[in-house]
Amino acid sequence: MQTRLTTLLGIKYPIIQGGMAWVSDSKLAGAVSNAGGAGIIGSGGRTTEWVKEEINKIKLLTDKPFGVNVMLMAPNKDEVVDVICQEKVSFVTLGAGNPVPYIKKFQEAGIKVIPVVPNLKLAMRIETSGADAMVVEGMEAGGHIGTLTTMALMTNVLPKIGIPVIVAGGIADGRGIAAALMMGAAGVQIGSRFIMTSECPMHANAKAKILAATDTDSVVTGYSRGHGVRGLRNKFTDAFMELERKGAPQEELDRISTGTNRLAACDGDVDNGLVQVGQSLVVLDKIQSVQDAVEEMMKQTVECLTSAGSLVKSI
């Protein structure tokens, strides 16, 4: 399948993997790249040394394009950027901060720049700043979210932006991929579906909780404070949201939430940690290999796109 994203990155399928903190490592990213998409190492919460080691590991696992996600609010962001430039990865995705000051540096190192944006205003700014492509991510996504839905973002942003736009947020099967492509997207970013793979290092307890979840089990903490985080409802989210409703100081909310992503993803505490996952939960009903997941999604994508013509009848 050829789209502007596959051409830009030199990949087989228009899929990039989300740079999820604590779970997007070299093994997962390498498997996604080998399956025809573009894997991403997530640097959020990680040391600079870890990022360098994972880049070196993935080079032994695949000769296909891969990227690194940079969290721009991280205290070691500048050191991570330097490592990425030295290692000459194929592309970067940038979020949680202002990507503009970094675009030129990456491009001078031969690295394609793909910021993540939550609305049209920022999308237009990113395009003007010279980014190679962008990800627009709807609030259906897991983890840190914006305020607009994926459908609204596609409707508002895609007709206005000239560079390739990758759509994310609640896309977990081929139907979602086909819908994004039909709306004019160059490709999609998928996170939660890749959590449910044998190559993903997320703790088995967290995967089991996702398997047991249904469509109403997703909640957003911190939304009233302007920085929502989506995950599965549990003891932690109930306590946090109760404090949030009562108007607790932000310092108290920060104190009880710090480290909860790692607590669930790495330590397997799915009661006191936050299992970050997107809103499209019902289709996350099995653990499979990355290769099988990609092939299944792409088969469904092709079936959806092919059958779409039958909906159009001659007048």
Helix, strand, coil abundance in the chain, percent, nearest 5: 45, 15, 40
Looking at residue 314, its pLDDT comes to 55
Residue 295 located in a structural domain? yes
Same domain, 140 and 177: yes
Same domain, 191 and 216: no
Q: Give the tokens for residue 41.
A: 């190492």
Same domain, 16 and 79: yes
Label the pairing between strands 218-221 and 229-232. Answer: antiparallel
Residue 273 located in a structural domain? no
The rounded Cα 73 to chain-centroid distance in angstroms is 17
pLDDT, averaged per 10 consecutive residues of the chain (315 residues), comes to: 96 97 96 98 94 97 97 91 95 90 95 95 95 96 94 97 97 97 97 98 98 97 92 97 95 94 96 97 98 98 91 68
Same domain, 218 and 290: no
Looking at residue 315, its pLDDT comes to 54
Alpha-carbon span 216 to 197, nearest angstrom: 23
> In 112-196, where do the E strands start and end?
112-117, 134-137, 143-144, 165-168, 187-190
The DSSP output letter for 294 is: H
Same domain, 63 and 149: yes
Helices 150-157 and 174-183 pack at an angle, to 10 degrees, of 20
Residue 270 located in a structural domain? no
Same domain, 217 and 184: no
Residue 96 located in a structural domain? yes
Place of tokens 């998409």: 37
Same domain, 104 and 219: no
Residue 259 located in a structural domain? yes
Residue 272 located in a structural domain? no
Alpha-carbon span 14 to 89, nearest angstrom: 18
CB 93 within 8 A of CB 164: no
Same domain, 106 and 41: yes
Domain range for residue 244?
A: 204-265
Same domain, 172 and 42: yes
Place of tokens 């695949």: 62
Alpha-carbon span 130 to 102, nearest angstrom: 11
Same domain, 69 and 190: yes
Give me the number of domains the chain comprises. Answer: 2
Handedness of CA 170, 176, 181, 184 (dihedral sign): negative
Task: For residue 65, give the CATH number of its domain.
Answer: 3.20.20.70
Residue 315 located in a structural domain? no
Residue 277 located in a structural domain? no
What single-letter amino acid sits at 237?
T
Same domain, 130 and 223: no
Same domain, 229 and 260: yes
Handedness of CA 57, 58, 63, 69 (dihedral sign): negative
